[in-house]
Amino acid sequence: MNRILVVHYSRTGHTDVVARRIAARCHADIERIEERGSREGVIGYLRSAAEAILGLHPPIKRGRHRPGDYDLVIVGTPVWFWSVSSPVRTWLHRHHRSLNKVAVFCTCGGSGHAKVLDDLERLCGHPALARLVLTEQATGQCQQVPAFQRFLLELKRVRSVSDPLPPIQEQAPA
């Protein structure tokens, strides 16, 4: 069984790129939170904005992985109006009791990220072992971003003092 799970929501793909890179480097399983409805276009944007501002919990599909089976769950969200995206809020509301160790990350345009990481930790019910912020422009080349490398190193350091998490690659696969 894999011991690390990366869980994330992504409306337009930026958070998904980062989640996939983290999962590849950590040999982790990955779960992209899915919904039944669409968030495309202006209506989808406005709905997302309203849900974020109001702190709502929209319905999400049942996931394929059980977070309680993992030693470490890495949770990622886009920043929506200085808030956690509402599908991630729903997922954490549903699963926070079964989380063990957590790490958190977000992607954003450039504002509200510190509050969102704080909110993620609060919703997880645990302080995060590592935190990462990437702007949407940086997501495509995230492996070159020092903060991304630091995030992986921090997870690796934690792993070295609390086995048995699997090894984390220092270099991207060729």
- Site residues (vs ligand FMN, CB under 6 A): 10-16, 45, 48-49, 78-82, 107-112, 136
Could you give the angle at the alpha carbon of 46 between the alpha carbons of 77 and 35, nearest 5°?
50
Our CB check for ligand FMN shows the closer of 44 and 166 to be 44
Closest approach of Cβ 96 to ligand FMN, in Å? Answer: 21
Closest approach of Cβ 56 to ligand FMN, in Å? Answer: 13
On the question of a cis peptide bond just before residue 164, with omega within 30 degrees of 0, the verdict is: yes
- R_g of the chain computed on alpha carbons: 15
Measured between alpha carbons, how far apart are the two ends of the chain, in Å?
25
Closest approach of Cβ 48 to ligand FMN, in Å? Answer: 4
CB 145 within 8 A of CB 138: yes
Neighbouring C-beta atoms of residue 117, cutoff 10 Å: 21
Our CB check for ligand FMN shows the closer of 67 and 78 to be 78
CB 23 within 8 A of CB 91: no
The angle, 0 to 180 degrees and rounded to 10, between the axes of the packed helices 146-161 and 14-26 is 40
Closest approach of Cβ 103 to ligand FMN, in Å? Answer: 17
Our CB check for ligand FMN shows the closer of 48 and 90 to be 48
Distance CA 80, CA 101 (A): 25
Our CB check for ligand FMN shows the closer of 98 and 141 to be 141
Closest approach of Cβ 58 to ligand FMN, in Å? Answer: 13
Our CB check for ligand FMN shows the closer of 137 and 144 to be 137
